Structure formats: C-alpha cells, structure tokens
Chain A
Amino acid sequence: MFTAWAAASNPMAHIGKADRQRQLEQEEAGQHLFANRVRVYPKSVKGPVRRFKWAVLIFCLTLYYALPWLRWSRGVTQPNQAVLLDISHERFYFFNLEFWPQDIYYLTGLLIMASVGLFLVTSLAGRVWCGYTCPQTVWTDLFMWIEAKIEGDRNERMKRDAAPISLDTVWRKIAKHSAWLFIAFWTGGAWIMYYVDAPTVTVEFWTGTASVEVYFFTGLFTATTYLLAGWAREQVCTYMCPWPRFQAAMLDEQSLTVTYQGWRGEPRTRGKRIAGAGGDCIDCGACVTVCPTGIDIRDGIQLECINCGLCIDACNHVMERTGRPGWLITWDTLADQAAKADGTHASFRFFRARTIIYLSALVVAAGVMVAALLLRSGIGLSVQHDRAPLFVRLANGDLRNGYTIKIVNKAQTLAIFQLSTLGLPHAILTEIDENLGPADQLGLPVKADSVGTFHVFVSGQPAMLHDGSSPIDFALRDMLTEELTVYHSVFMGPHTGIQN
C-alpha cells in the first residue's frame, strides 16, 4: 500500500537523511556482509505519546519492584508473600490462590492467553507491546533517560563522543555506568524476590548468608539488564528477538500502526514554503533523531519499528512551529491511508476475521481458566491402576486389582479421607502399608500440606465383570469438610471364556 504512492512520486525525492546515509555506507562497504553498528543517539522529546509512554513505564516498573514486598497473610506455616514462586517447596502463591505442580496446566492456559492476547493487540494496534510494555523497551527507555540526564541530549552526546576524551566526559561516563549498574542490580535483586521471601532474602543477601543461587542469579540478571538495556538496546529488537520477524503475520491493512501520511507529506519541501506547492513534510529529520531504533518512519512499516510513536510527538512540534496541521505522523491503518490518498476515508474495522478468531480464542481460554479455577476441588485425587499384574486370582475365586492412590491435602492440618468404591458390588478394599481393611471403605490419613500415596487392593467377584472388566469409581470424602471427589477407573479380570 505504502509503496504504491511512494513509487508514483519521484523515487529519490522522498529518501530521507537516514536512507542517504545508509546508501552511502552500503556503497562504501561494497559487498561486505557485516557492517559496523551505527550508534543511535535518540533525542529527548515531549508530548502526549511520550507522557503515555512514561506512564506505562512507571506503572510497569513500580509493579515489578514493589510486587514482591506485598504481604498476604496465609497463617504461620506458609509464606505470607502475595506473589511467590517457591520452587524449593514446589508451590506458587498468587494472593488467595495456591498452585501445586499438579496445577501446571493453569500456566499453560495463562501462556495461551498471553500469546493470543498479544496476537489480538498486534492485529489491532501493531507492535504496542514492543513500543510500551516489553521489558527490553521499558528498561532501555529508563537507561536512556539516565543517559540524557548525565551526558546531555543527543547533540551533546554526539559531540562528546566525537571529541577527544576529557575529564568531564570520563566522570560523566563513570556516573552513567554506575547508575546503570545500580538499577541493573536492583532489577536482578527484585527478580530473586519472586522466588524467595523478599524481606528475608534482603537481610540474608547483605549479611552474606544467602544461598549461592541467590548471589548467582542476582549477578546474572544484573549483568543481563546492564548489557541489554545499556549496551545492546535496539540491537536486541532488530537482531535477537524473533517477534519482529513473525509479527507481520498478525498485521494487515486494517491494523493501526505508526504511519507517516505520505499523501500529505510528499513531496518534501525544504526552506520557505510556497503556498499550494509541495507537501507538509519539511524534511527536518526530527522524526529520525528521536527514534530509539534509528530508523526513518517515512520509509513505511519496517522490521525495526517498535511502534512507540515518539516520532509523532517530534513531528507535531515541527508542524506546530511551522504552522501546519499536526499529526502528519499518526496512528492509522494502511487501508485508511490508501483511501485518504484518493481523497476518501476508510473507517477502522475492529471486527475482522482475524480479530474475531483471536478474540474468541482468548474468551474460550479465559473462560476455561476461570471455570477451572472456580470448580477446582480442594481435594486432589488421582487413581492409577497397576499395570502388572492387571489382576490376580485369589484362592476363593475372587479377583483382586491393585491401585496407586494419591491424595493431595492442601489444608494446613492432618486430614482423614474416607475412600469407598461405586460400580462394583461387594468390592473389598485393603491397604497394606497402613494395615487398613479389608473393609468396604477405608479411612486414609494424609499429613498437612502434602500428598499421601496409598497402595489399595480391591477384591471383586468375577460375576460382576462384563467382558473382562468393570468400571469402578473411587469416591473420596474429606471427613472434616464433607467435600466429595470421584475418580473414574476400571476393574480388570480375565476375558470371558478364558480361564487362567
């Protein structure tokens, strides 16, 4: 769409400064397959988009750093941290919810929702994830802000880096890297607090009594934060991250993206404007200088663009100063741009096949998750039929099957569960390790906050079987709460007509 109008105009006229520079470098590089990294010196900018980006940044960082310190009372025996991924005890605490390794499918559901949600947002509004909420963007933005505070804005930094090293430059660089390292360390430390109790690990960390893992992972995430947000920056997005490579599959001509309105801007006019001639773009390059990935938005949608929209703020300033209407760079769809180039208008379509599919997948996943959470039982029961032997024949002619029964007791007290069977008349239950039975029901004790494993033998009469097996249900009742759980299983015997 974009190339349609671009090709129609003079191919050289709309080529921006960045383009020209890239072309020059390329010709110079000749046929080299590797090039020097072109350093990006993004200029600071003010405006509504920037303010929104700050707001998201503050929200995300506050959430990240503060969440581990949020307390949530769970009694004496359990940690009172609101969000805690307690790997050593195999528990995940999230406010009033407690997840055991058996509940891992909630994580699957969450990941499905996250990815489909990302697809939906991308198909609606482009790579807003990349531009606003991706940790790489958030920390890079924070690091750039510090850089600008200490070393000055774009022009000053470029001048400083080009000039011979001075004392002023040296102390500013040291101050910048120290600040970066401090934030990186804080970030790495906060990461650890999601896995171990925050106040405890803070004390342990500074008294030297924390585990080796704590120091190692704090160091690791300090290093990655410092390197990725301080040094690698846009290189991560352009060369490391897979998402820009396939996000194009979620975008179509109805997706809102940061767009240079070429039909309005072209042909670009420099210097004094002659009324009625030329487009609104004065080719000042403001949009290029503020870009954190160092691209020219006027080249259209491109892999490097993270859709942050800082160029919108930059251009609006210029438009205001030169007395032209704002939003030459704006959020728009390719379809609307094509229509506007023809003097019409195409309204934004929220509901498209793509968004409907993403939305329904999201609703289904969320519905299943919520239903599963609401319906989940406090008792976890799993019954596994012994595979070998499938059954044994007793001297009195009865058949006996063995089952491994696991009972999850999430309560903080010892619980007695009453186990009985349904579907196989005259079934007799025995548990050998606990010396229970034979009886038609057993009382199985499970310690607080743990999984009880029992090997239960069930004896039944061959006459009750059809074609060598019979369905059997294990009913488990919590003697305290009266909560009942049923697990479907099978009782096996020899096939009819085969005597063993």
Chain B
Amino acid sequence: MPTKIEKDSVTGQMTTGHEWDGIKELNRPLPKWWVYIFYATIAFSVVWFVLYPSWPGLHGYFHGMLGYSQRTAVDKDVAAILKQRAGYMDRVAKLSFDDIRKDPQLQAIALTAGRIAFANNCQPCHGAGGGGNPGFPALAAGNWLWGGKLDDIQQSITFGIRSGLEDARQSAMPKFGADGSLKPAEIEQVADYVMALFGHNTADTAPGQKLFAENCAVCHGEKGEGKREIGAPRLAGRAHLNGDIRESVVAQITNPRLGVMPNWNSRLDSATIKSLALYVHSLGGGE
C-alpha cells in the first residue's frame, strides 16, 4: 500500500511510498530512456494492431490491413511443399520398383512417404513398424500369407484382402466345426497334429495327421508349408497369425477367422501405394 513519501533518514533518499511490514522502498529513479522504450513498444503494438488480425467480434474478427491469416499461410506452405514433392512422387508413380531402387535419393523419398502413409493408414492393425497383432499379419518377419515380393505387396495394398473387390485377394477356410464336417473329437486330433507342426510336443499325432491330409493339406500343404496363391498360412514353423496356443488352433478349425483388408486404391494414389510397398518391403521381411 502506498504510504507517505518521505525522506529516508539513513540514506537521505526519498522513498517510493511502498512499504511492506515496515520495510520501505527507496526511490532510485530509472533513466527516462527506459520509459521511452516502453512507449515505443506501445506504439509498435498499435501499428501491429492495425496491420494484423487483432480484435474478435461476434461474427468474425478484424482481419488487419495486411489481410494476413495463419490458415492461408499454412495453405501456401502446403501448396509449395506439394509442388516440390510432385516431381518426385510423379517419378515414383511412373518408374518401376527396380528403377526407384537404383536412385538412392528417390528411394529415400519414397521410403519416407511410405513410412508416413503406413503410420496413418496401416499401423492400427499391423502395428508400428509392421510388428503385427494377433489376427493381423506381422509384415516385418517374412511370414507372408500372399507373398513378400514388391509386386505382391503392391497388389495386396491396392486391391485388399477379401475386400469385396473383384481383383481382391480372395479365399476362405471351411468352418469344419460349425458346419459339422469334423466332429469335436476329430478337431482335437487335428489340433494335436497342428501343434506338432508348430513344434510343440503333443500326444499321438497319427489320427490327426490322417485327418489333416484328408481335409487341410489341399490348401495348407502336406507338411503344413502353406500355399501363397490362396493365402493359406504356413503352419509348420514358430510364427503364427492367430497365436500358437492350442485353444486358438481349435477355434480356427471350428469357426475360422478370415481377415479382411480394405482396397487402398480407393483412398491412396498409386505413388503412395508404391511407396508403401517399398516401405513394407524394407521392414525386414521383403523378398
């Protein structure tokens, strides 16, 4: 609280009149140029106020004399980037995969574009970096259902898996349990054999092997090696789409889960799809 402005008895200086618990503030005046600088900043703010968007209203705002807006500035920047990028992405769309990979700069650009497109579109199902999730294939491990060559990947992304499109990759596994073609006890026997293919020690596999040869081998192969033409997963090995516990094997035979991937040609242009193919191929499983 400002109190009395008085002369301090010890220093002989005037006080500012500010006092806190008996402690008084001495007045050591600042040079005036400090205040002039302060006035200059006020003048600057008035100029700014007039030139730039500054005052809100009920139906909009004062746009300022320069007509500046952050939205148009961003649009301009984005347009400039797209223009800059257009040359490269056109080349990605036109050139073959081999030609793109021969040009390290273009390949780096395509991989970056692919990485971003992957994060935006593919990551929710396939996991960051293509690590996969139960029921959603791991892309980084090389356990391909439909093929791991660049052209295969491009085909899968473009038309999708069971997407309803005519060109889509299409296949179905019979519902052995649900339609009654295998009895529950038989399904258990097949599961014994599949678990053996997975590398686990199980009981007697002979009955299961026989049933497998009759019902499953036509698609999954005699030794469970899989068949890529129809997207039949490889069963022999340690990496599996739906997990490698017995329950999931039984469930899959009884009433199979059939994954669906949309056809991305409805959302992404061909250059982006090719970039995605290059990126997915580079994750570690490419062939």
Contact = CB atoms under 8 A, between A and B. Distances in A.
Contacts of B5: 31
Given A23-B12, A31-B27, A395 B33 contact: no
Interface string B130-170: 11100000101111000000000000000000000000000
B184 interface: no
Nearest to B286: A432
Contacts of B14: 26-27, 30-31
A463 to B, nearest CB: 12
B129 interface: yes
Interface of B, helix, strand, loop or mixed by DSSP? loop
A395 B237 contact: yes
A119 B244 CA distance: 66
A1 interface: no
A393 B31 contact: no
Interface string B181-220: 0000000000000000001000000000000000000000
Contact of B17 (A23, A31, A36, A394): A31
Contacts of A392: 131-132, 138, 140-141, 239, 284
A33 interface: yes
Interface stretch (A130-138, A196-204, A243-251, A396-404): A396-404
A382 B153 CA distance: 32
A432 B280 CA distance: 12
A166 interface: no
Interface residues of A, number: 34
A37 interface: yes
Contacts, number: 103
Given A33-B30, A394-B141, A396-B237, A389 B127 contact: yes
A393 B129 contact: no
A27 to B, nearest CB: 7
Contact of B234 (A390, A395, A400, A402): A395
B71 interface: no
Interface residues of B, number: 37
A87 B280 CA distance: 36
Contacts of A26: 13-14, 27, 29
A396 B239 CA distance: 8
Given A30-B14, A31-B14, A457-B284, A393 B238 contact: yes
A107 B45 CA distance: 38
B127 to A, nearest CB: 6
25 contacts: A23-B12, A26-B13, A29-B29, A30-B14, A31-B27, A33-B27, A35-B32, A37-B32, A235-B33, A386-B129, A389-B130, A390-B131, A392-B138, A392-B140, A392-B239, A394-B142, A395-B142, A397-B238, A397-B239, A400-B140, A400-B284, A402-B129, A402-B284, A432-B284, A500-B244
Interface of B: 5, 12-14, 16-17, 27, 29-35, 107, 127-132, 138, 140-143, 199, 234, 237-239, 243-245, 282, 284, 286
Interface of A: 23, 26-27, 29-37, 235, 239, 386-390, 392-397, 400, 402, 430, 432-433, 455, 457, 499-500
